[in-house]
Amino acid sequence: MKRLLIVLFLCLTVLNASAQKTASDEVKRLQARMYKLYSGYDYDEFISVTDSLKRAAEEAGDDRMFYRAWANQVLFSSNRQHRSRAMQIAKEMQEHAIKQGNKWGIYNGLHVSAYAHEQMKNHEEAIKGFKKAVNYLHEYLPNESAASSLIELAKIYYLRNSMESAIQYAEQAIREPHLNELHRLNAYSLMCMSAADSAAYHPKNSDFRTDFNRFYAEREKVKKAYGRDDIYGQRVEILRCILDRNFDEALRIASTIRTPMTRYNLERQIYREQKNYEMAFKSLTNYVIWKDSASEARNSHLLLEMITSMDVGRLENEQKELKLRNQSLQLENMAGELEQKRLEEEALQLNLKNKEVELQNAAVRLQNDSLDRHNKNLQISEYESKMAVQEQAARARRIFTTSAISIAAFIILTLAYILWRRSLNAHRLRLMNDQLQEANTNLKTAYDQLEETTTAKERMESELRIAREIQMGMVPSLFPQHDHIDIYGILKPAKEVGGDLYDFFIQNNRLYFCIGDVSGKGIPASLFMSVIVNLFRMVAKEGFPPEYIATRLNETVSENNENGMFCTMFIGEIDMQSGKLLYCNAGHNPPVMMAGKQSGETSSKPVFVEMESNAPIGLWPELVFKGEEIENVKGIASQPFEGARQLVERLSDSVKQHVGNAPQSDDLTMLCIMCS
């Protein structure tokens, strides 16, 4: 029996170890998949993979990987235009960690919540959150490193030009236990930039220069040990060259920076220190242009947040309306109860008055009875002796006095009781009246709030109508009458405003045109669409070919594209004399062209044009787009339509018949060009 138990124990141990190994292998597989998807834009797939990783880590007992996967959901959502969702995920993560009593999870929840605030430019809340995370980790997990939170604090203070605070938090990060080399390199980079910027603004203060040289020497050691540079390396080297007055080298390094806005800002600082104010002004002008472009992308995100807040406000208003209806019903019930009580009080008053009359009648009857007795006594006294008469009269007087006192006492007690009851009922009536006044006041306040909400809703609807009119005004509605070109197009947004676009113009006997679709719907897509249309016109009017136009558009909108918005687009140029078509397809659906008739066929057939698809505009800043051409698109096939407008309208009618009464779920845009 003992041997059997030992064998069973060994079998269970082997099975448990095998299960743990299987779970650990699944965690490693999903972890690799998570980091591969982190640099992409597939939000749903990333959330699905990280949810699976959380379950696998929980089965394997790996708490750190469990909360790391959860935290990466917050970071990915913050960087991919899902910042409200990021705040919700961070809140759920923190509540779970608090419920489980997991200190590592609580710290990560505090850190990613602060990071979400930082991405939403809410720096005050971000600073509070990172400080709270650092204090919590130092108190409950003193052997863990809080360097990531301290570096984020240093970065925020650097961006706010609080250089001493930035250096303070970066130095504190270096003193953290178990510090990895990347965090150490980031900390020294922020210290170098803070010291160098301080020296640039205060050239007479030599302490900042000394601090920079010291920080830079330590940074070089860390960079050598780490084996590569961090994201701040080029900026640090430029600042070093400025301090050393080596402006040519600083300009050379600045020219290698891929982000235009950062490059122009650093060139402006270099030229300013070089006292070349003309070039500094040009760099400042370019910087402002790119900054305005970046601001438009940021405004798109803010508008998205605003729409989300408006939806939340709408739900709250609906709840308030329901609450007001309930309060109205309660007030009606209270009014009915008060009216019932008032009627009961009136009936009680009438009963009291009737009792008073009955008491008065009883008093009169008593008086009459007393007079009758007195008369009888007088009659009897005539037949009796004077002594008897006197005795009878005395007895009668005693009886009368006693009766009168009893009646008076009864009347006084009755009146006192009536007055007490009347006072009590009056007090009750006053209390009910006060309650009714308070209810009326609450009802008036609720009505005023409802009126304000209705006014705000009407104003929001008016602003959306104006936005639709502005957007539709940007789309061409007048189509040119030309001997060689027949063109017509329509755009029907699914919402008040949308993200589809088309545009065209004729210049130097050439037709430039484009059609595209911006990611997303509503106001953010419409703003991005307006930027794309304006950039297309600005670049195309310079006479550049379609592939160059696509490349320039991509370079402009992809830099600092924090929201990850993009646009698929087909750009074309037709020589109206020769019929030659130059085009570039940036991730859009290929166009349909009427092909030549085949043998035995009575008319031409529409076919999709085979072409290089390229990537959508706005995702990667360094792409070079490829263009293609068709030698002649003039009259290459016969078709049964009188013109471009008839073709577009028939297609639109076919779509309406197909969808029936179903609501429109996507923007509908068509553009037809016929060359002769």
Task: State residue 581 phi and psi, 5-degree precision.
Answer: -110, 120
For residue 624, CA distances in Å to 124, 388, 615 come to 41, 146, 10
Give the highest mean pLDDT range of 318-327, 425-434, 515-524, 573-582: 573-582
**Residue 419: C-alpha distances to residues 140, 411, 425, 484 (Å):** 73, 12, 10, 106
- The b/e string for 347-376 (b: 16+ C-beta within 10 A; e otherwise) is eeeeebeeeeeebeeeeeeeeeebeeeeee
Report the C-alpha gap between 224 and 253 in whole angstroms: 20
User: First-to-last CA distance in the chain?
Assistant: 99
pLDDT band at residue 40, thresholds of 50, 70 and 90?
confident
Which of 542, 556, 563, 57 shows the shortest CA–CA distance to 303?
563
Burial (Cβ within 10 Å: 0-12, 13-18, ≥19) of residue 483: exposed
Contacts of 637 (CB under 8 A, 6+ apart): 593, 594, 595, 596, 597, 604
Q: For residue 211, is pLDDT > 80?
A: yes
> What contacts 567, CB < 8 A, 6 or more positions away?
499, 501, 516, 517, 518, 519, 528, 529, 532, 557, 586, 616, 617, 618
Tell me the C-alpha distance between 542 and 512, whole Å: 11
**570 strand-pairing partners:** 515, 585
What span, in angstroms and rounded, lies between the C-alpha atoms of 298 and 411?
88
Helix, coil or strand: residue 507: strand
Which stretches of 244-363 are assigned E, i.e. beta strand? none
- Strand, coil or helix: what is 247? helix
Q: What is the pLDDT of residues 333-355, one digit of tens each?
A: 676 677 777 767 776 777 677 66
Burial class of 633 by CB neighbour count within 10 A (0 to 12, 13 to 18, 19+): buried
Using alpha carbons, list the distances in angstroms from residue 238 to 3, 48, 485, 493.
Answer: 75, 43, 54, 48
Instruction: Tell me the per-residue pLDDT of 284-310, one tens digit each, with 9 for 90 and over.
Output: 888 777 776 654 444 444 444 444 444
List the single range of 234-238, 461-465, 499-503, 551-555 with lowest mean pLDDT: 461-465
C-beta contacts of 467-470 below 8 A and 24+ residues apart: 467/496, 467/497, 467/523, 467/526, 468/493, 468/496, 468/497
Task: Convert the pLDDT of each residue in 43-73 to its tens digit.
Answer: 889 889 889 988 988 898 888 899 888 888 8
Q: What is the pLDDT of residue 387?
A: 64
**Phi/psi of residue 272, each to 5°?**
-65, -45
Lowest-pLDDT choice from 139-153, 166-180, 308-322, 503-517: 308-322
More confident residue, 435 or 188: 188
The count of other CB atoms within 10 Å of the CB of residue 97 is 22
pLDDT in tens, 500-535: 899 999 999 999 999 999 987 777 888 888 889 889
- Region 214-234: what's the mean pLDDT? 91
pLDDT in tens, 252-266: 998 988 888 888 888
Res. 21: pLDDT tops 80: no
Q: How many residues does the chain have?
A: 676
| DSSP letters for 544-599 | --HHHHHHHHHHHHHTT-TT---EEEEEEEEETTT--EEEEEEBPPPPEEEPPPPT
Instruction: Please tell me the predicted confidence (pLDDT) of residue 34.
Output: 87
Please give the pLDDT value at position 7.
40
- Cα separation, 6 vs 484, whole angstroms: 94
387 vs 415 pLDDT, higher one: 415
182 closest CA partner among 191, 194, 174:
174
pLDDT, average across residues 430-445 = 71
Q: Token match 């008739």: residue?
A: 597
3 state SS of 500: strand
Query: In angstroms, how far is CA 386 from the centroid of its own chain?
Result: 114
Encoding tokens for residue 392? Answer: 């009878």
Q: Are 489 and 671 in contact (CB under 8 A)?
A: yes
- Give residue-wise pLDDT tens across range 593-625: 876 555 455 566 788 898 988 999 998 888 999
Is the Cβ–Cβ distance between 664 and 496 less than 8 Å?
A: no
Confidence of residue 663 (pLDDT cuts 50, 70, 90): confident
- Measured in degrees and rounded to the nearest 5, phi and psi for residue 150 equal -65, -35
pLDDT at 648 over 60: yes
CB 115 within 8 A of CB 75: yes
Contact indicator for 443, 470 with CB cutoff of 8 Å = no
Q: What is the pLDDT of residue 282?
A: 82
d(CA 490, CA 667): 11
**CB 502: neighbour CB atoms within 10 A?**
20
Does residue 1 sit in helix, strand or coil?
coil
Please give the DSSP secondary-structure letter assigned to residue 662.
P
Q: Specify the pLDDT at position 380.
A: 57
The set of residues, in sequence order, having a beta carbon less than 8 Å from that of 495 and lying 6+ positions away, is 521, 522
Kindly write down the DSSP assignment for every residue of 605-623, as one continuous string: -EEEPP----PPBTS-TT-
Q: Are the CB atoms for 108 and 141 separated by under 8 Å? A: no
The answer to whether residues 552 and 539 touch, using CB atoms and an 8 Å cutoff, is yes
Centroid of chain to Cα 124: 18
| Per-residue pLDDT band at 574 (split at 50, 70, 90) | very high
Output the CA–CA distances (angstroms, integers) from residue 121 to 40, 58, 184, 290, in the order listed: 23, 34, 25, 19
For the chain, percent of residues with pLDDT exceeding 90: 25
**Whole-angstrom Cα distance, residue 140 to residue 133?**
11
Can you tell me the mean pLDDT for 262-272? 86
Q: At what angle do helices 277-383 and 83-100 cross, to 10 degrees?
A: 60
CA 40 to mean position of chain CA atoms: 22
CB 81 within 8 A of CB 301: yes
Q: Do 88 and 82 contact (CB within 8 A), yes or no?
A: no
| Average pLDDT value for the chain | 80
